[in-house]
């Protein structure tokens, strides 16, 4: 009986050799060519510890595949085999691709980003992780921003230096003495298990490859460029076969500066370094997973690059700036950090649910995407903030964001553009697909508001729409009715969304 | 004793002839060349009725001028003379010019537009006009949008067909039977007297040359292109010597359509017609007064043209769209109609004072300008709406707009740019001149807001600012103090503006 794997699933080859190497991570070259219907794809393997080498492959075609392994290790060289790729299972839409200014699964299903943040939930105990996954699913989040490396708290709120330690570390040698040429497979296996769990729930893992939150605690940020590229090669070879992987080059890439951190590659604001990383991933990820780079200060939103598939930015402005970035980059734009709902003393973590909801709605009304986060310190324990460690979501915005996504799913979202006529940029906002479909959002009550709906070239046409009015704060449909927006008087209250679908 | 006139004042030559003409408006050619310091300027004269011809000239240089008149009428041909131009009086800063994305008087004084609207106040009785002028001055309005032609009410509120008639009409022949080749000097004299009164108060007259609000009442809109150019020549020759004149080609130029109004030049959406007008004014106004063209629908904001000195647009979006127009046109932008404060049933005339104030503040925070208007129907008389006929301003926004202008006057306004870092586009907004001077506007209370003030390249610099906090709704200074914005905790409540001036 032949091996089978579903399309966009993971085919894994497990190999071994009796030969010993000084550093099997760097000394052994291992790759395989996969063939189907005249197409060939080459992917690289990796050392998984304990004398085991693996090659992972995500088939993008159905039917019969054959492969041949090449290695500088004679025992693994020239191994061949075949396997069968079956149609994808029902919830498997394939990897997410950029299509114009939007995202689409490989099977053509539109992907509407509803992101949230849980930086290092992946190394917390199982019970907490289960609650975290339940929170993601409960509110329909489908993209999680998560750091690969452990994160150390430091900052101007009351959780200084009380971070949780991970159960193991990403490299051999341990804290303050890492050998960056020797990854610790245990840490990587732990991380990729989380990626798989997200995949099973239909959630994209936005993997943040580098970050500056070490503060001398582990000295992971002492990597130089050569170390960084070795790490990249290893993580790409391990993770890229998972269809739900995204690559975020950095969190707050511009937080450091050259002067403060000589030789610390990932703490440099020097964009040349990040370009090296971006180009490396573009050249070496066989599947072209989404790639972006996340900033801290406004002026340093990463400029456009060929390696960048979409824009990831941090800024509390989700509307005007989003529109500007969309125009400038002509790529999908995600506001990946518009400040968090929470109760911290600092403005980055004390937004109300209302402000969070407003910012998220406005990212949508700008034709863009956004990522939410919760920064509530709960009870006496000032560590267990969802934004960092996961747990249970407690904020009031998450259910409303779920509802937001449900509303957008009723719209021809990717075909909609800003409708200038019914948008004042502060109180009411509109997107439309021609005059066939409108999505309106009202932040404030507007008395006697006239909607300018219908074909501009025929202002007297008697158009009729199926309308649905949504209470976006209380997550319920107010009413569904048929209206003639050019003659019917419509009462609009604050925090209402309306969809209008042309009947005739 | 020689004739004297101040710089940027009006020198007027009054001429006459014993000869009779079939149509003295079109049959007599009359112009004069004015000479000073090797410079020559040619201006055209006009027939003022009763056998009187006039040539008006605004001298832009001090000292001795000589002139020589040329005419096809032998009695007026070759008349010469001299006069002396004295320095301008204290309140005379000369005409307003475009400088980059801003406006500046000819003497170098920055001009900050604070506009309002009174379409046909100019033909109401004297007592009403005096109250109108007092309202303009009381609230510091310095640019008035006013129609040259009479305006007829029609529309979907309760003032249908009850407009006031002007005491006389712009052309001979009277309503429904105008001879567009024979202007009525009485009407023009009445109008230019209003322009002079505004000039004495230091107010710019934004003269709207054409408009579509006739609705078959007088048939002034039956002009064809030849009529329109004759009228333009006449009004330019009469009015351009007044330093406070601006030319607005149209109000809502795109309200009509070719099909509905064949042959009605000013009711055509055909931009070619408006380009003809704009080019004509540019070529024939000897002083280059500001020129713009005002739209009704968003998609028809007039595209950039060489004849256009600045952008005049109508739209309730004074922030995002303002920023977009500034970037696109690279000229000053005035939102000349963001909907009016008032109590009409329709959304164009029922904004609250708060919404009016918000929209006006946001035009400023976008680095642009705006024009206010009041549309209150008061008591039983549903005609006397300030927006149309003037009278007393009664809205609550006007005093706050005066205060807004006073705040801006304390800033290096023309040198300030949007400060992205301290702007979220919905709740707080910032302009700055480098890090030397900031103007911040808070629409909403922001708890624990961190301001990112000071040199970005030196984030640890201990900067100190003189701060003034303004309550923009109650028009008062909350406090003046010295602050260190990088360390001091600042409490910000809604509807506060703050100026910060670098001390060290």
Residue by residue, DSSP assigns A438-465 as EEEEESS-BTTPPP--S-TT-TT----E
Distance of CA B221 to the CA centre of its chain: 23
Nearest to A384 by CA among A132, A188, A174, A172: A132
Contact flag A316-B424 (C-beta cutoff 8 Å): yes
Query: What pLDDT score was predicted for residue A462?
Result: 85
Length of chain B: 504
Kindly indicate the confidence band of residue B490, based on its pLDDT and cuts at 50, 70 and 90.
confident
Reply yes or no on whether the pLDDT at A204 is more than 60: yes
- With CB atoms and an 8 Å threshold, state whether B426 touches A347: no
- For chain B, what percent of residues have pLDDT higher than 90? 81
Identify any residues that bridge with A71 across adjacent strands, giving them in sequence order: A30
Has residue B260 got a pLDDT over 70?
no
Q: Given this model, what pLDDT does residue B335 score?
A: 98
Report whether A430 contacts A439 (CB < 8 A): yes
Q: Render the burial of B402-421: b for 16+ CB within 10 Å, e for the rest.
A: bbbbebbeebebbebebbbe
**With 90 as the cut, is the pLDDT of residue B160 above it?**
no
> Could you tell me which CATH number the domain at B417-502 has?
2.60.40
Q: How far is A94 from chain B (nearest CA, A)?
A: 36
> Based on the number of CB atoms within 10 Å of its own CB, is A313 exposed (0-12), middle (13-18) or buried (19 or more)?
buried
Alpha-carbon distance of A75 to B329, in angstroms, equals: 68
**DSSP for B340-388, written as a single string:** -EE--SSGGG-B-HHHHHHHHHHHHHTT-EEE--EE--BTTBSS--HHH
Q: Which residue of A has its CA nearest to B362?
A: A426
* Residues B7 and B87: beta-carbon distance below 8 Å: yes
Q: What is the pLDDT of residues A443-482, one digit of tens each?
A: 988 776 778 899 877 777 889 999 999 999 999 999 999 9
Contact A298 B362 (CB under 8 A): no
**Smallest Cβ distance to A425: which of B321, B421, B449?**
B321
Q: What is the pLDDT of residue B297?
A: 80
Please tell me if residue A298 touches chain B, with a CB cutoff of 8 Å.
Answer: yes
Using an 8 Å CB-CB cutoff, list chain B residues near A362.
426
Q: Which residues contact A491 (CB under 8 A, 6 or more apart)?
A: none
Contact A215, A154 (CB under 8 A): yes
Helix (H) or strand (E) holding A282: helix A271-284
Q: What is the pLDDT of residue B162?
A: 66
**Nearest-angstrom CA–CA distance, A103 and A368:** 10
Q: Tens of pLDDT along B325-381?
A: 999 999 999 999 999 999 988 888 999 999 999 999 999 999 999 999 999 988 766
Span B56-71, mean pLDDT?
98
Give how far A117 is from chain B: nearest CA, Å: 21
pLDDT higher than 80, residue A261: no
Task: Assess A252–B contact: CB distance below 8 Å, yes or no.
Answer: no
- Chain A CB contacts of B452 under 8 Å are 297
Q: From the list B298, B316, B425, which residue is nearest A320 (CB)?
A: B425
For A81-112, how does the pLDDT look when each residue is reduced to its tens digit (9 = 90+)? 999 999 999 999 999 999 999 999 999 999 99
Quote the minimal CA–CA distance from B299 to chain A in Å.
8
Query: How many Cβ pairs within 8 Å bridge chains A and B?
Result: 84
Q: Decide if A69 touches B, using CB distance below 8 A.
A: no
Classify residue A284 by burial, with Cβ atoms within 10 Å: 0-12, 13-18, 19+.
middle
Q: What is the pLDDT of residues A391-438, one digit of tens each?
A: 999 999 999 999 999 999 999 999 999 999 999 999 999 999 999 999
For A349, the closest chain B residue by CA position comes to B448
Q: Which of A25, A3, A2 shows the shortest CA–CA distance to A12?
A: A3
From chain A, pick out residues whose CB is under 8 angstroms from the CB of B299: 420-421, 456
d(CA B223, CA A296): 60
Q: Is the pLDDT of residue A141 over 90?
A: yes
- As a whole number of Å, the end-to-end CA separation of chain A is 57
Judge whether B250 and B208 are in contact, CB under 8 Å.
yes
pLDDT at residue A200 above 60? yes
Bridge pairing between strands B245-250 and B204-210: parallel
Q: What is the pLDDT confidence band of residue B218, given thresholds at 50, 70 and 90?
A: very high
Q: What angle do CA B81, B84, B86 make, to 5 degrees?
A: 160
The answer to whether residue A448 neighbours chain B at the CB level (below 8 Å) is yes
Q: What is the pLDDT of residues A167-188, one digit of tens each?
A: 999 999 989 999 999 999 999 9
Q: Inter-chain contact A426–B362, Cβ cutoff 8 Å?
A: yes
Strand, helix or coil for residue B105:
strand
Judge whether B494 is closer than 8 Å to chain A, CB to CB. no
pLDDT at B53 over 70: yes
With 60 as the cut, is the pLDDT of residue A260 above it? no
Query: Could you say which architecture CATH assigns to the domain B99-245+316-409?
Result: Alpha-Beta Barrel (3.20)
pLDDT at B430: 97
Residue A426 in contact with partner chain B when CB distance is under 8 A: yes
Chain B positions in Cβ-Cβ contact with residue A319 (cut-off 8 Å): 320, 425-426
Query: To the nearest whole angstrom, how far is the Cα of A20 from the nearest Cα of chain B?
Result: 52
Give the burial class of A363: count Cβ atoms within 10 A of its Cβ; 0-12 exposed, 13-18 middle, 19 or more buried: buried
Task: Give the per-residue pLDDT at B347.
Answer: 84
pLDDT band at A366 (very low <50, low <70, confident <90, very high): very high
ipTM of this complex: 0.91
DSSP letter, residue A202: T
> Could you give the angle at which helices B126-138 and B185-200 cross, rounded to 10 degrees?
30
Write down how long chain A is.
504
A257-265: average pLDDT: 59
Chain B residues with beta carbon closer than 8 angstroms to that of A361: none
- Rounded to an integer, the average pLDDT of B155-175 is 78
* Residue predicted with more confidence, A435 or B271: A435
A426 vs B421: CB contact, 8 Å cut-off?
no
How is residue B30 written in tokens? Answer: 């009359």
Q: Does B456 reach chain A within 8 Å, measured CB to CB?
A: yes
The answer to whether residue A156 scores a pLDDT higher than 90 is no
Average pLDDT over chain B reads 93
Give the separation between CA B498 and CA B107, rounded to whole angstroms: 30
Number of alpha carbons in the 13 Å side-chain half-sphere of residue B7: 19
Residue B425 or residue B379, greater confidence:
B425
Residues A145-155: tens digit of each pLDDT:
999 999 987 65
Question: What is the rounded average pLDDT of the residues B403-419?
Answer: 98
Kindly report the backbone phi and psi dihedral angles of residue A28, in degrees, each rounded to the nearest multiple of 5, phi listed first. Answer: -95, 125
pLDDT band at B437 (very low <50, low <70, confident <90, very high): very high
CB contact under 8 A, A450 and B347: yes
Angle ∠(A275,A277,A279) on CA atoms, nearest 5: 65
Q: Does the beta carbon of B362 lie under 8 angstroms from any beta carbon of chain A?
A: yes
What single DSSP character describes residue B127?
Answer: H
Residue of chain A whose Cα is closest to the Cα of B487: A156
Confidence at residue A40, expressed as pLDDT on a 0 to 100 scale: 97
CATH for A108-234+291-409 is: 3.20.20.80
- Is pLDDT at B104 greater than 60 in this prediction? yes
pLDDT tier at B154 (50, 70, 90 boundaries)? Answer: low
Q: What is the mean pLDDT of chain A?
A: 93
In sequence order, the 6+-apart residues with CB closer than 8 A to the CB of A37 are A61, A63
Of B368, B420, B452, B453, which to mutate for an interface test with A (greatest number of A Cβ within 10 Å)?
A: B420
Task: Indicate if the pLDDT at residue B267 is higher than 80.
Answer: no
B258 touches chain A (CB under 8 A): no
**Searching chain A, which residue's CA lies closest to the CA of residue B446?**
A347
B446 and chain A: CB distance < 8 Å anywhere? Answer: yes
Q: What is the pLDDT of residue A25?
A: 98
From the CA of A468, how many Å to the nearest CA of chain B?
Answer: 22
Region B14-37: mean pLDDT is 97
Distance (Å) from the alpha carbon of B347 to chain A's nearest alpha carbon? 5
Establish if B424 touches chain A: CB-CB under 8 angstroms.
Answer: yes
Q: What is the DSSP string of B226-277?
A: HHHHHHHHHHHHHHTTSTTEEEEEESSTTSS-TTTSTT-GGG---HHHHHHH
Between strands A4-6 and A80-86, the pairing is parallel
Whether B261 has a pLDDT exceeding 60, the answer reads no
Nearest chain A CA: its distance from B94 CA (Å): 36
Question: Could you tell me where in chain B the CATH 3.20.20.80 domains are found?
Answer: 99-245+316-409
CATH, domain A4-86, list 2.60.40.10, 3.30.720.120, 3.30.413.10, 3.90.550.10: 2.60.40.10
What's the gap between Cα A358 and its chain centre?
21
pLDDT band at A256 (very low <50, low <70, confident <90, very high): low
- pLDDT of A152: 87
Distance between B488 CA and the closest CA of chain A, angstroms? 13
pLDDT the model gives residue B306 = 97
Question: Do the chains contact at A426 and B297, CB–CB below 8 Å?
Answer: no
Return the higher-pLDDT residue of B257 and A151: A151
A458-462, B13-17, B218-222: which range is least confident on average?
Answer: A458-462
Q: CA A168, CA A188: separation in Å to the nearest integer?
A: 10
pLDDT of residue B183 exceeding 60, the answer is yes
Residues of A in contact with B423 (CB under 8 A): 317
The predicted structure's pLDDT at residue A272: 87
- Note whether A297 contacts B358, CB cutoff 8 Å: no
pLDDT band at B394 (very low <50, low <70, confident <90, very high): very high
Looking at the complex, does the CB of residue A456 fall below 8 Å from at least one CB of chain B? yes
A319 touches B: beta carbon within 8 Å: yes
The CATH 2.60.40.10 portion of chain B extends over 4-86
Strand order from edge to edge, sheet including B291-292: B291-292, B245-250, B204-210, B143-147, B114-117, B369-371, B333-337, B311-314
Residues 6+ apart with CB under 8 A from B355: A427, B339, B341
**Ordered DSSP codes for A185-197:** HHHHHHHHHHHHH
Q: Which residues of B touch A355 (CB under 8 A)?
A: 427
Mean pLDDT to the nearest integer, A3-29: 97
Q: Does the pLDDT value for residue B455 go beyond 90?
A: no
Shortest distance, CA A327 to any CA of chain B (angstroms): 11
Query: pLDDT digit string (tens) for B234-244?
Result: 999 999 999 99
Using the Cα atoms of residue B459, residue B460, residue B461 and residue B467 in order, give the sign of their dihedral: positive
pLDDT at B396: 98
């Amino acid at each position: 009986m032949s091996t089978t794997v579903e399309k966009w699933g993971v085919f894994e080859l497990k190999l071994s050799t009796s030969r010993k190497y000084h550093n099997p991570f760097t000394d052994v070259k291992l790759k395989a060519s996969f063939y189907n219907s005249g197409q060939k794809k080459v992917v690289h393997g990796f050392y998984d510890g304990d004398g085991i080498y693996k090659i992972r492959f995500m088939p993008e075609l159905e039917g019969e595949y054959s492969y041949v392994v090449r290695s500088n290790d004679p025992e693994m060289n020239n191994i061949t085999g075949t396997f069968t790729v079956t149609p994808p299972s029902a919830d498997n839409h394939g990897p997410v691709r950029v299509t114009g200014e939007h995202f689409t699964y490989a099977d053509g299903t539109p992907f509407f980003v509803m992101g949230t943040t849980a930086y290092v939930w992946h190394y917390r105990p199982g019970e907490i992780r289960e609650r975290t996954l339940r929170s993601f699913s409960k509110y329909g989040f489908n993209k999680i921003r998560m750091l690969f490396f452990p994160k150390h708290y430091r900052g101007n709120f009351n959780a200084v230096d009380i971070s949780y330690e991970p159960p193991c570390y990403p490299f051999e040698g341990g804290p303050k003495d890492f050998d960056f040429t020797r990854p610790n497979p245990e840490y990587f296996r732990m991380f990729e298990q989380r990626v798989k769990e997200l995949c099973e729930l239909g959630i994209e893992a936005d993997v943040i490859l580098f970050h500056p939150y070490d503060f001398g605690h582990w000295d992971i940020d002492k990597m130089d460029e050569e170390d960084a590229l070795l790490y990249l090669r290893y993580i790409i070879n391990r993770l890229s076969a998972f269809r739900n992987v995204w690559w975020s080059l950095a969190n707050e890439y511009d937080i450091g500066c050259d002067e403060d951190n000589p030789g610390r590659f990932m703490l440099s604001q020097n964009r040349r370094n990040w370009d090296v990383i971006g180009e490396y991933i573009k050249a070496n990820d066989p599947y072209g997973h989404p790639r972006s780079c996340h900033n801290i200060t406004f002026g340093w939103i990463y400029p456009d690059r060929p390696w960048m598939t979409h824009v990831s930015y941090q800024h509390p402005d989700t509307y005007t700036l989003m529109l500007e970035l969309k125009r400038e980059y002509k790529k999908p734009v995600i506001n990946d950090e518009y400040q968090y709902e929470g109760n911290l003393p600092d403005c980055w973590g004390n937004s109300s649910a209302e402000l969070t909801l407003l910012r998220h709605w406005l990212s949508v009304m700008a034709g863009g995407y956004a990522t939410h986060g919760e920064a509530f310190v709960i009870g006496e324990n000032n560590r267990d903030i969802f934004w960092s460690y996961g747990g249970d979501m407690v904020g009031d915005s998450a259910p409303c964001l779920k509802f937001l996504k449900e509303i957008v799913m009723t719209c021809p979202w990717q075909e909609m553009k800003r409708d200038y006529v019914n948008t004042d940029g502060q109180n009411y906002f509109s997107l439309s697909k021609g005059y066939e479909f409108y999505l309106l959002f009202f932040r404030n009550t507007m008395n006697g508001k006239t909607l300018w709906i219908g074909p501009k070239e025929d202002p007297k046409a008697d158009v009729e729409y199926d309308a649905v009015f949504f209470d976006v704060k209380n997550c319920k449909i107010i009413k569904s009715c048929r209206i003639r927006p050019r003659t019917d008087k419509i009462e609009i209250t604050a925090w209402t969304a309306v969809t209008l679908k042309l009947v005739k």
